[in-house]
Structure 1
Amino acid sequence: MKIKKDADYFELLSKMIACTHEAARKLHELVVVYDQVPERCGKIHDIEHACDDLLHILLKKLNAAFITPIDREDLLAIAKGIDDITDAIEDAANAFDMLCVDTIRPGAVEMAELILQAMEALVKAVGEFNQFKNSQKLSTYIVEVNSIEAKGDTLHRHLVKDLFHRGDPLTILQWKEIFDIMEQVLDAGEEVADLLEAMAMKNR
């Protein structure tokens, strides 16, 4: 029975990061196709809401549990970190709508591609986390997330510098906000990866 209860937490974390990955995929579609923006944002909102529901389920399980596979505070920190990524993805999508963006800049596609790649690596990392004591792959996926985040930092600096060099005031206002939020998505992803690494080391 204990094994089944332990597995439930990891399964919920995997379901949460799957929602986050789907939100990242929808954000990527938004910037590549760029039509029906309010409708596409609405779909990302629905995914974010599903992630919230999973977080609440995990919270209820933690509150009712007598024994957890790792400290409940650690499980909660990972779950909230995943939820923060999904929130940031929704914020990024909504920024295109609220700031009335008419035309997509190539940098947005590049950032969205990095976000999608980071979430794909995080899906693998979270999937490996239930085997953290023996996994040979978890650290590889964590390094991959960190590497993608570093690329995002470099790209973000380049894009913002180019904005101030070439952009008009409205363009700068719109796109700095968007690029900043997209970079925050990558930062939030790295934070979850670092949490996974820290919790794995703590519990080995």
Structure 2
Amino acid sequence: MDILSLLFPREKKFYLMVEKQVLLVDEAVADFKNLIINYDVLSSGQKNKIILRICQKERSDDILYTQMVQALKSTFITPIDREDLHQLTSTFELIMDTLETISLKLKIYKIKKDNILVKQSVVLFKMFKFTRRLIFSIRNESEVEKYCLQIRKLEQKADEIYIEGLEVLFSNSNSPVTIIKLKDLYSSIEKIIDKIHEASLIIENVAVKYS
């Protein structure tokens, strides 16, 4: 028995929607990490191309999220399953929305490559890879525990990076405008990281229910 029969015993379409949504977010997170890491060597055109891909994935995710909500309203599912599924897909949708917003802000702010953003993007990338694995390992209790532990450790590391970033930002002789821009970006990425952690807790909770 896999996640399909666990979460959506009557409706395979829900599993396919979740799978597609996870893949969309995973691809967008990978694009975002590559954008941040290579920010100083990419041309404006290359940056815009990556940002456009992220925006297109966000549009696809919006459509998928709407389809999911409509399907939930028209299909009989037990209350717990409905709540879990809606909460999970809503969390992924918020992650994608925020990722698009940050990407567009990078284009507007025209900042230089930043070490804290690089560190955050790497942690973000690793966390979602574990989240993706977690979803497809939900029947394996030891795997669920392992991936959730890794996600918690990365979330704690992300908190440390965020604090480090603020300390450096306010201790150096940065202009007020630079401080505002970078603090906004740091905080927005931290928000995504927190949401990924929330998604892992939702999945862990579902695994416990069906263990």
- Give the TM-score taking structure 1 as reference length: 0.88
Q: Which residue of 2 aligns with 1:139?
A: 145
Identity %: 21
* Alignment size in residue pairs: 199
Q: Extract unaligned runs of 5+ from structure 2.
A: none
Misfit runs of 4+, over 4 Å: none
After the TM superposition, which residues 112-127 of structure 1 pair with which residues of structure 2 at under 5 Å, given as runs?
112-127=121-136
2:163 corresponds to 1:157: yes
> Which of 191, 196, 199 is 1:184 aligned to?
191
3-state SS in 1 of match to 2:151:
helix
- Give the TM-score taking structure 2 as reference length: 0.85
- State whether residues 13 and 126 of structure 1, in contact with CA within 8 Å, keep that contact through their aligned partners in structure 2: no
3-state SS in 2 of match to 1:128:
coil
3-state SS in 2 of match to 1:171:
helix
Q: Give distance in 2, aligned partners of 1:83 and 1:44.
A: 13
2:63 corresponds to 1:57: no
After the TM superposition, which residues 26-175 of structure 1 pair with which residues of structure 2 at under 5 Å, given as runs?
26-34=31-39, 35=42, 36=44, 37-67=47-77, 70-101=80-111, 103-129=112-138, 131=139, 134-166=140-172, 167-175=174-182
Deviations 1:130-172 (Å, cap 9, x if unpaired)?
A: x3xx543122212211211111000000011100000222221
- State whether residues 25 and 92 of structure 2, in contact with CA within 8 Å, keep that contact through their aligned partners in structure 1: yes
Q: Give distance in 1, aligned partners of 2:176 and 2:207.
A: 47
Q: Extract unaligned runs of 5+ from structure 1.
A: none
> Which of 20, 23, 28 is 1:18 aligned to?
23
Amino acid at match of 1:46: Q
3-state SS in 1 of match to 2:136:
helix
| CA-atom RMSD in angstroms | 2.1
